[in-house]
Chain A
C-alpha cells in the first residue's frame, strides 16, 4: 500500500512538472503539448473507437505472430538440443538470425508479401522464433543430468520425459527466451507499422505516424502512452505469473 502510494505520488509530480513546463510559454504547444491535451485526445479517440480498433489490429498481429513463433520455436529448440544434426543446422542459423535486428526483415517482407497481414506476421515471427529456439535449447542443455537419471529409475521415458522433466526443468531459460522473443516481436511490429501503411488494417504504429503527418503531437504522445501501457500489461498478465511461479519454486529472485 505504501509502495503504491510512492508510485502514485511520483507519477503525479512528473505529470505536474510536464503540465507546468508545457504551459510555461517557453515551448510551442503544438510540438510539446501538455498532458491535459494528450488526455483530451485519448478521451476523444476512445469515444470515437479509433484507439480501440487500432489497438485490436496491433494486438492481433502480435499475438498471432508470437504464438506461431512459440509453436515453431519450442519444438525446434528441443530438437536442437537433442539432435546433433539440428544443432549444426538450425542451431547455427538461429544464432546468426538472432544477431540480426528483426526490423531488418521489414523491407524484405514488404517485397515478398506486399502491404499485407502476411508481411506483418512474417516480421513478428522472425522476431520471436530465433530467441525462443536458442533459449529452449540452452535451457535443455543446462539441465542437471541427475534429473534424467532420477526420472529414468522411476519409469519415465520418451515423451513423458520430454513433457514432464526436460521441459519444466528448462522453464527458467524458456521464460527468459519467451520474454526476449516478445520484446523483439513488439519492437519490430511497431517499426513495421510506422514504416509502411499496411492496407489490411490500421494499427497503433500507423496511428502514431498519422499523428506525425498531421503535426498532432498530442496524438503521437497518446499512442506512445498506450504502447507503454500495453507493454506493462503484457508483462503483468503474460510473464509475471510465470516468473512468480519460478521464483517460488526455485527460490530465486529474492535479493534481500
Chain B
C-alpha cells in the first residue's frame, strides 16, 4: 500500500442503532441509561447528540465504539454488527487520552503502527500529513505536557484520523477548552470534515456547538435515556457559531430541551 492510497478518503460508513437498551446498577438503584434507542446515521453525515447529563448519549457512543455492550438491541456499521472496537470507528474522548510516555509524533503513530500493510516510512508520512492537517507540523517532538489544552485535542484528533477510519466518534471533545480555543476548533473541525468526509457522531451538551457542527441534531432526555426530537440544520458551511441564523436554531433546540425537562419535573412531582 502506498501513502497516496492510504491518504485517500476511506468510504464513510452507515451506522444503524436498533432498539438499544442499557442499564447500570448503582448502589441504590438501577438506572436505565438507554431505553430502546434507535438511530440511523448515513454515510458522511455529521450528527450531534445533545442532552443533559445522564441521558445516555455518551453510553450510546461507547456502544457504537464497541467499548460497551448493550443489554438489548444491536448496532451495525455498513450492515455488519458491532461487538468490539474496530479501526473503522475511531474515538475522541473528552480528556485527550494522549499517552504521556510518547511524544506528539509517536502518539499519532500509535494507531498507525497497529495498521498492517504499511512500511514505517509510510506510517511516518501519514502521521506528518495529519499533524499538518491539525496545524501542529512544528510540534512533532513536543511532549504532551508542553501543549495547551487546544493543542492536545488537536493531537488527539490527528491520532483518531490517522488510521483513516470510516467513522469518527467524538465524546464532548471540546468541553474542557476555553471559549476562544473552542471557536477556532469549530472552524477547523468543519474544514477537516469537508476534507476527510467521515461519518461523525458528536456528543455534546452545548446546543450552539451542536447546531454549528451538525447536519442533524438529535435530542436526548434522561431517566430513562430516550431520543425525544431531531432537528435538521439547513445552513451552508462553513458556519459561524455567532451568526444570527445559527442562534435561531439553537434557541429552538434549547426551547424543546427545556420543554421536556419541565414536563419531566411535573411527572416527578405527580
Contact = CB atoms under 8 A, between A and B. Distances in A.
Interface of A: 144, 146-147, 149-156, 160, 164-165, 168-169, 171, 248-251
Interface stretch (B31-39, B110-118, B179-187, B228-236): B110-118
Contacts of B66: 153
Given A146-B93, A146-B95, A152 B85 contact: yes
Interface of B is mostly: loop
Interface in B55-84: 65-67
Contacts of A152: 67, 85
Contacts of A171: 101
Interface residues of B, number: 27
B87 interface: yes
Given A146-B93, A168-B99, A251-B145, A153 B110 contact: no
B115 A155 contact: yes
Contact of B93 (A149, A154, A165, A169): A149
8 contacts: A147-B97, A150-B93, A152-B85, A153-B65, A153-B90, A165-B99, A249-B100, A249-B103
A154 B143 contact: no
B67 A168 contact: no
Interface of A is mostly: helix
Contact of B100 (A153, A164, A250): A250
B214 interface: no
Contact of A169 (B87, B101, B115): B101
A249 B97 contact: no
Contacts of A248: 143
Contact of B145 (A146, A155, A250): A250
B67 A153 contact: yes
A164 B109 CA distance: 12
A149 B67 contact: yes
B146 interface: yes
Contact of B101 (A146, A151, A153, A168): A168
B196 interface: no
Contacts of B67: 149, 152-153
Given A150-B91, A155-B85, 15 more contacts: A146-B93, A146-B95, A150-B93, A153-B67, A153-B91, A154-B90, A154-B111, A155-B87, A156-B110, A156-B114, A249-B101, A250-B145, A251-B100, A251-B144, A251-B145
B89 interface: yes
Contacts of A154: 87, 90, 110-111, 114, 159, 163
A149 B114 contact: no
Contact of A160 (B89, B95, B114): B114
Contacts of B87: 154-155
The 7 A-B residue pairs with the shortest CB-CB distance in the complex, in nearest-first order: A251-B145, A154-B111, A150-B97, A168-B101, A155-B114, A153-B91, A146-B97
